[in-house]
Amino acid sequence: MKSKKLTYIIYDNAKTLIGALLIAVLIRSLLFQPFYIPSSSMEPTLLVGDRIFVSKYIYGYSKHSFPFSPNITDKRFFSKSPKRGDLVVFKTPSDNRTDYIKRLIGLPGETIQFINGELFINDKKIVREQTAPKNIRCGNFLLDTNTFIETLPNGLQHLVTYKKRGTLLNSKKFEVPSEHYFLLGDNRDCSKDSRYLDSVGYVNKLNLVGEAKLIFFSNDTNRSSLLEFWNINKSFRLERLFKVL
């Protein structure tokens, strides 16, 4: 009798645990997924230590919507096109596993080029206005930068930074293939992005994971890690709590 009761308790708990795991996987795969920002490539928009929620359904679904990117299909379902300026999480084309987040700059069929330090889309210079400089990092180094408000062709404005010395002045003309996108980091001189054709390059629509929507927590890892909970008041960025992107 006791053995049957113990078996029932184990079975009941296992059923509850499996159900909870399935629900968590479905939410993570189909609705929202949390991500941690480990690098400074998107400063000042996203800081190292930001934790964000990414909408998974906004662009539809592919194999990269699911954990471990199972090789179950090469199609995208309920597909919706991203908009220029979106903060896009994607799997890098080089390994189809590593998650990157960058800003969508170029759409299929467009050309992108840097000329004398200015960004051109389809041979038209993108308007930018210099603003107050930000403290921008690149790894463990602080950069001496110029900060601009950049206005994309669809009217979306965002902050970008360039190093005062040693910035990228000129590039080749990038021609975005069909069903691909060109993405850049906002920290233009500290970002591995679509300019690096051997490692990132043009991003296929199948590699899109989702769009960053919200910062739900942020702590400055240079001041304290989450494991040092007694110092959390020194590193916690209260002003970024639940910040809409």
Residue 80 among the catalytic residues: no
Q: Are the CB atoms for 15 and 70 separated by under 8 Å?
A: no
DSSP letter, residue 215: E
Q: Are the CB atoms for 95 and 74 separated by under 8 Å?
A: no
Per the document, the length of the chain is 245
Residue 102 among the catalytic residues: yes
Distance CA 78, CA 60 (A): 5
Sequence-distant (6+) residues with CB within 8 A of 233 are: none
Query: Catalytic one among 39, 41, 194, 224?
Result: 41
Tell me whether the omega of the peptide bond preceding residue 44 falls within 30 degrees of 0, making it cis.
Answer: yes
Query: Catalytic one among 56, 63, 102, 205?
Result: 102
Active site residues: 41, 102
